[in-house]
Structure 1
Amino acid sequence: MEQLLIGSFLSAMATGVGALPILFFKSVSHRWRDILLAFTAGIMVAASTFSLIPQALQSAPFIIVCLGVLTGTLMLTVLESIIPHIDLEHTRINISMDSQSLLILAAITLHNIPEGLSVGVSYSSEQSGLGGLISFAIGLQNAPEGFLVALFLINQKVSRFKAFMLATLTGAVEIVSGICGYYLTSVVHGLVPYGLSFAAGAMLFIVYKELIPESHGDGHARSATFSFILGLLVMIGLVQSFG
């Protein structure tokens, strides 16, 4: 339980770490942003396909794993359909903090719930080191997200410090959902394979629907591709060393 709390906290607070540069400067080049997003995508693909899914297959038949992956994918699809998706990087509309900015914060917060569940389920698995690897992968994904949320808030005339604090708080929900995921799969042990494959489906959805398109949208596809492969190899190396 102590490891879960530490892992969930570090993963969630990576959102704040990503937002930290906003206290010192207000922009980052498209090239470096795309490279970071693609690297994160590679990390998450490797975590899903070389760690979460193989672990689920060790304790459940293939059909169960398929159901789990599809459930994770469908949950994020539903969340996306009921929560407006707004491009935080490219929006140019002057929106008041009292209305749509709050909606964006709520959307990002809800989006983090499945990620926290992924961390909690991973720590409930019997595989040593799996929880740490998944919290690391989720944390990498949270960092650029925190920066973009804080940048958007600054563009809406929110002070830098408040933007940093609000962006950090959007990740805090992962601690609560991580604890929920851990206890749910710990009490009902048969849910662990479902949980692991659910986490894999959710992560793969984020990669293919969000990270890869975002990293290829500004003319830096080649750099992003190499960064993706590097992230994939880094995570495979971590899985082999600590998984």
Structure 2
Amino acid sequence: MIEALIGSTLAALSTGLGALLILLLPKSISHRSRDMMLAFTAGIMMAAAMMSLIPEALQYGGIVQVIVGVLLGVYVLNLLEKFIPHIDLEHNKSGIKFDQKAMLIIAAITLHNIPEGLSVGVSYASDSEGTGNLIALAIGLQNAPEGLLVALFLIQQRIQRWKALVVATLTGAVEIPMAFLGFYLTTSVSWLVPYGLAFAAGAMLFIIYKELIPESHGDGNERLSTYTFIIGVLFMIFLIQIF
């Protein structure tokens, strides 16, 4: 329980850690740097889903539970996409610009963090030592560049940097109660564990293919992003072996 609290909190606060960079960076970053961050994150999450979550779901349940859980995770993310306008970054090599209102972006990113928090909680409910920490790390690494992008947008709207930092950090805070919800559901109803693990994998796979990979290939940096994606996969495999 304490480990789940610490892991989910660190994963959520990673949004703020990424946003801390706005205190050092100019008001915009190149799309090349952004694409590399997104691709690296995609590689991290791909390895976590395919080499940790799905194998464990198979261990605790079976192929039926994995299929149902993955499809449910994809379905939930698809619903979020339908009801929450997707925040596409304008592909412009000179920097990152948004054309949506600030509150819409903040609300959208906050709501998109809900399944990520559930994923962390479900992973800590697993009996396998280290799985929760791995998934919390993967989610945290995904949250860091997200927090940076939110903060960059806010300061482009002439919001003070420290206020942008606070707001960006708060967008990830929703993951903490969601992690507790996922943890208690799966520990109270043990048969939910394989479904929960597969759900987390499905949600990750949806984010990877629908969001991270396309956005990292929109500005002519496809080859570099591919290399960075592979590095992210190998980095997560290394961490899995350590844990």
User: When the two structures are superposed, what TM-score results if normalisation uses the length of structure 1?
Assistant: 0.94
What do residues 43-102 of structure 1 show as CA deviations (whole Å, max 9, x unaligned)?
Answer: 100000000000000121201110100000010000010011122555454x6xxxx321
Do the aligned residues in 2 keep the contact of 1:146 with 1:167 (CA within 8 Å)?
yes
Q: Which amino acid aligns with 2:164?
A: A
Q: Which structure 2 residue ranges, 5 or more long, are not aligned?
A: 91-95
Question: Once structures 1 and 2 are overlaid, which stretch shifts more, 189-198 or 80-89?
Answer: 80-89
Q: Which amino acid aligns with 1:42?
A: G
The corresponding residue for 1:87 is 88
> Where in structure 2 are the equivalents of 1:218-229 lying within 5 Å?
218-229=219-230
Q: Which amino acid aligns with 1:59?
A: Y
Q: Which structure 1 residue ranges, 5 or more long, are not aligned?
A: none
> Where in structure 2 are the equivalents of 1:132-147 lying within 5 Å?
132-147=133-148
Q: Which amino acid aligns with 1:21?
A: L
Distance in 1, Cα, partners of 2:183 & 2:207: 21
Aligned residues: 237
The corresponding residue for 1:27 is 28
What do residues 193-240 of structure 1 show as CA deviations (whole Å, max 9, x unaligned)?
Answer: 000000000000000011101111111111110111111111112112
Do the aligned residues in 2 keep the contact of 1:88 with 1:148 (CA within 8 Å)?
no
The corresponding residue for 1:75 is 76
Secondary structure at 2:43 match in 1: helix
The corresponding residue for 2:10 is 10
Secondary structure at 2:159 match in 1: coil
Distance in 1, Cα, partners of 2:34 & 2:161: 20
Secondary structure at 2:174 match in 1: helix
Using the TM superposition, give the Cα deviation of residue 11 of structure 1 relative to its aligned residue in structure 2, in angstroms: 0.3
- Sequence identity (%): 64
Secondary structure at 1:84 match in 2: coil
Tell me if 1:150 matches 2:151: yes
User: When the two structures are superposed, what TM-score results if normalisation uses the length of structure 2?
Assistant: 0.94
Tell me if 1:233 matches 2:234: yes
Distance in 1, Cα, partners of 2:87 & 2:192: 34
Using the TM superposition, give the Cα deviation of residue 32 of structure 1 relative to its aligned residue in structure 2, in angstroms: 1.6
Q: CA RMSD in A?
A: 1.2
Higher-helix-fraction structure: 1
The corresponding residue for 1:123 is 124
Do the aligned residues in 2 keep the contact of 1:88 with 1:149 (CA within 8 Å)?
no
